[in-house]
Chains A and B, each alone.
Chain A
Amino acid sequence: AQSVAQPEDQVNVAEGNPLTVKCTYSVSGNPYLFWYVQYPNRGLQFLLKYITGDNLVKGSYGFEAEFNKSQTSFHLKKPSALVSDSALYFCAVRGGNQGGKLIFGQGTELSVKP
Chain B
Amino acid sequence: GAGVSQSPRYKVAKRGQDVALRCDPISGHVSLFWYQQALGQGPEFLTYFQNEAQLDKSGLPSDRFFAERPEGSVSTLKIQRTQQEDSAVYLCASSEYLNRADTQYFGPGTRLTVL
Chain A interface (Cβ < 8 Å from any Cβ of B): 4, 32, 34, 36, 41-46, 49, 51, 90, 92, 94, 99-107
A42 to B50, CA, bound (A): 25
A34 to B35, CA, bound (A): 16
Contact A34 B55 (CB under 8 A): no
| Residue of B43, B95, B98 most packed against chain A (CB within 10 A) | B43
Contact residues in B for A103 (Cβ distance below 8 Å): 45
Chain B interface (Cβ < 8 Å from any Cβ of A): 4, 6, 31, 33, 35, 40-45, 48, 50, 55-56, 59, 91, 93, 95, 98, 100-101, 103-109, 111
Known: A94-B100, A102-B45, A106-B41. A36 touches B106 (CB 8 A): yes
- Which listed residue, B6, B33, B42, B50, touches A101 by the CB 8 Å rule? B33
